[in-house]
Amino acid sequence: METTMKKFKRCQSCGMPFKKDPKGSGTNSDGTKNNMYCSYCFINGEFLQPDMTLEEMEALVKEKMKEMGMHGFIAKLLTMGTAKLERWKK
Ligand SMILES: [Zn+2]
């Protein structure tokens, strides 16, 4: 995958900025850091929720933002960005 060579600032599955990830990023199967996905989405070279759909991820992201006290309109805008992340590109 050529996309693994790119340097991302946020998780390409859920959109969380890596600096908010307590572990910094997810990990590959060889234990090295994965700079595409966060530690909530991708550990040891595998997605934690491999069957998740874009719709489910959007719902999860929206829920998380509500928890963080983000208001409806902003949360909706940010959630719309989820579809543009590498994992969900068709
Ligand atoms: Zn993530």
Q: What is the pLDDT of residues 31-82, one digit of tens each?
A: 999 999 999 999 999 999 999 999 999 999 999 888 989 888 888 888 989 9
Cα of 15 to ligand 1 centre, how many Å? 6
How far, in Å, CA of 35 to CA of 61, rounded?
20
Q: What is the pLDDT of residues 1-40, one digit of tens each?
A: 455 567 899 999 999 999 999 999 999 999 999 999 999 9
Cα of 14 to ligand 1 centre, how many Å? 4
pTM over 0.85: no
Decide if 1 is inside a domain: no
What stretch of H or E contains 84? none
Cα of 87 to ligand 1 centre, how many Å? 10
Decide if 50 is inside a domain: yes
DSSP letters, 14-69, are T--BGGGSTTSSEE-TTSPEESSS-TTTEETTEESSTT--HHHHHHHHHHHHHHTT
| Residues in a beta bridge with 20 | none
Number of structural domains, the chain? 1
Cα of 16 to ligand 1 centre, how many Å? 6
Decide if 2 is inside a domain: no
Domain hosting residue 56, numbered range = 7-88
Cα of 48 to ligand 1 centre, how many Å? 10
